[in-house]
Structure 1
Amino acid sequence: MARQRARIRGLREGDACTKYFHLQACHRRRKNYLFAVTHNGQTFSEEEAKADIVFSYYNDLLSSAFVRQHRIDLSQLQIPQLDLSELVAPFLLEEVAQIVHESPTDTVPGPDGFNGAFFWAAWEVVSPDVVRVFHALWEIDFRSFHSLNGAIMVLLHKTVAPTGLRDYRPISLIHSIGKMFANSPHHVKNDF
């Protein structure tokens, strides 16, 4: 009940220019602001320097290539073959609608500002565009997906008093279309 009351108050006063809104925004900003970042014994306090060091640290960490040491030849195990032809078929409108309606409605919106509740409520209006996006992803037609490829990265404290970038956990807020596509039952194409 407390969660519902807080949600109702947030809906009533959260988007309006009220004292409640400004108190919440100031509190979140103070709580989440990184005044200085320590990395390799150096402390960075200028905004541009902090952004550069955080970007390079996580870019190096997340973009390192994985080299497989061993391979398993599954054909030698004589496992029965399954008919997976349905996994390479294009998406149907009903499948995309099912994916949208199974998406959680109370998640945090990503860079696009939408969550599952929006797509659920506006499905009649947005369904042709969402289905078109799913078809483009299935056909590996990525010409206009540069904006969907972006994400907002948020750093969460792992410890009470973080001393370096290793003491933060990066959380990536991706676009809602990417979330839905990742949750689709057959987002794998036969050449992957």
Structure 2
Amino acid sequence: MDNRNFIVSMVYAKCNHVERRELWRVLQLDAVQDAPWLCLGDFNTIRGEEEHCGGRPRLRAAIDEFNEFIDNYGFIEMKTVGSKFSWCNGQRGLAWSWSKLDRCLMNVVAANVFPNACCKYMARSTSDHTPLSFVFKNLGTRYGPSSFKFQQMWVSHSNFLNVVKENWSASVDTMGLSLETQLQVGFSDLLGAKEDLEMWMQREETRLSQHVKLRWMEKGEASAKFFKTFGSLKKPIVQEMRCPDGMCLDSPEAIHSGAVDYFNLFLKAQVRRELPDLSYLVQNSILEEENDNLLQLPSIQEVKEAMFSIPVDSSPGPDGFGSGFYRACWDIVEDDVVAAVRDFFIGNSMPRFYSASYIALIPKMQKPTGFDKFRPISLCSVVYKVFSKILVRRLSPILN
């Protein structure tokens, strides 16, 4: 494929888990690490209870041994579409059983050569196993440039704080909420820096790959390429989607457009209508003194506590900066962050940038087939989260 040799090992594992244990040992001894390697077939065991339905429970020790074999070598499972299970015992009643016994495992080299490889479980006919079909072409389309995300590892660089301080203290005529609007004017300069960054990250991956060689298992925690590959393969593939009117969308472009249309309709504001006046039913529960405390300007310590309460690994908003950046550079950015928060509490108009967010779709089930099977969540900017956290902390003690 593409004038490149790759190795395929066809597996037909024994029914007894003790005999399968010997197979795992042999496969590890014959492991291929310098060429693309696909290890596929009937492994005769599952990776978890969710891969089994009906019949007798699977032996826990056998499941653990199989997972240990996969983890020890660093196998990555190929993405799958189609049926959830690949085997049926053909029995009836309480003896009826389904399991996912067939799969394809890849080493890191293969995962990088075939990043969009997909295993499809076809319809079962005469055999008790479903046939497997493999596709090695690009199954998805990426829309637009990749978003910027602050990498926490940059904090450990010896010159990190100097770079932030030099750029943060650049001549700007204003502070607070309007500062962000001016900073966005120079965003084009960031794009060039981002290209340089991507080039250096590619160099780092090359350095790690050369350093690891055949000893990547011992150096697994340092293999950026492995974790990057593993993360990309974990992203779900949406092959088709059904609209409320029954129309089936089966191309990336159609699915993308369908998602935008569906959630535009789902999230848009409803038509305003006249509501009855129920204010006379609501009794005052907040004293005037408590109300004054809600509106007072936050202290530096209050802003800091709200910022530092946000987990470092929390998903960032559209600007790509998580709380890790602000926490690491607090002595540099403190005045500007506090000024922005106080602007908000004074009642100054908040730039659209702060309230804008990414809408991420979280599947409610393993293989959703309709847009209603996704739960939308908003990824907000860190400063917006600070606004919210201060308000919640102040309201919590006075509201039951």
State TM-score, norm by structure 2: 0.38
1:74 to partner: Cα distance: 4.7
For 1:113 and 1:39, how far apart are their aligned partners in 2? 32
Matched residue, 1:117? 324
Number of aligned pairs? 172
SS at match of 1:183: helix
Mapping 1:28-177, distance limit 5 Å: 28=234, 31-40=235-244, 41-65=246-270, 71-74=278-281, 77=283, 81-83=287-289, 84-142=291-349, 145-177=351-383
Structure 2: segments with no counterpart, 5+ residues = 1-151, 154-200, 206-223, 395-400
For 2:342 and 2:349, how far apart are their aligned partners in 1? 11
2:310–2:323 Cα contact (<8 Å) kept: yes
Give 2:302's aligned amino acid.
E
1:182 to partner: Cα distance: 0.7
For 1:186 and 1:165, how far apart are their aligned partners in 2? 32
2:240–2:369 Cα contact (<8 Å) kept: no
2:317–2:381 Cα contact (<8 Å) kept: yes
For 1:164 and 1:64, how far apart are their aligned partners in 2? 22
Describe the shift of the 1:171–1:33 C-alpha distance in structure 2 as closer, same or farther (beyond 3 A).
farther
Partner deviation per Cα, 1:104-143 (whole Å, 9 max, x = no partner): 3332222222223322221111111211221222233336
Structure 1: segments with no counterpart, 5+ residues = 1-9
Describe the shift of the 1:78–1:147 C-alpha distance in structure 2 as closer, same or farther (beyond 3 A).
closer
For 2:385 and 2:354, how far apart are their aligned partners in 1? 11
Percent pairwise identity? 23
1:151–1:173 Cα contact (<8 Å) kept: yes
After superposing the two structures, state which structure 1 stretch, 49-58 or 162-171, moved more: 49-58
For 1:151 and 1:80, how far apart are their aligned partners in 2? 32
1:183 to partner: Cα distance: 0.6
For 1:174 and 1:80, how far apart are their aligned partners in 2? 29
Matched residue, 1:19? 225
Describe the shift of the 1:80–1:183 C-alpha distance in structure 2 as closer, same or farther (beyond 3 A).
closer
Runs of 4+ in 1 over 4 A off after TM superposition: 66-70, 77-80
Q: Write 1 or 2 for the structure with the bigger share of strand.
A: 2
For 2:364 and 2:301, how far apart are their aligned partners in 1? 42
- Which of 1 and 2 has higher RCO (CA within 8 Å, sep 6+)? 1
SS at match of 1:185: helix
1:146 to partner: Cα distance: 2.3
SS at match of 1:171: strand
Describe the shift of the 1:20–1:35 C-alpha distance in structure 2 as closer, same or farther (beyond 3 A).
same
For 1:80 and 1:129, how far apart are their aligned partners in 2? 32
1:69 to partner: Cα distance: 6.1
State TM-score, norm by structure 1: 0.72
Q: C-alpha root-mean-square deviation of aligned residues, in Å?
A: 3.1
For 2:260 and 2:297, how far apart are their aligned partners in 1? 37
1:91 to partner: Cα distance: 2.5
SS at match of 2:390: coil
Which one of the candidate residues 185, 188, 191 is aligned to 2:391? 185
2:357–2:378 Cα contact (<8 Å) kept: yes
1:82 to partner: Cα distance: 4.3
Give 2:259's aligned amino acid.
V
Describe the shift of the 1:22–1:103 C-alpha distance in structure 2 as closer, same or farther (beyond 3 A).
closer
For 1:80 and 1:130, how far apart are their aligned partners in 2? 29
After superposing the two structures, state which structure 1 stretch, 118-127 or 107-116, moved more: 107-116
After superposing the two structures, state which structure 1 stretch, 123-132 or 15-24, moved more: 15-24
After superposing the two structures, state which structure 1 stretch, 133-142 or 174-183, moved more: 133-142
After superposing the two structures, state which structure 1 stretch, 44-53 or 127-136, moved more: 44-53
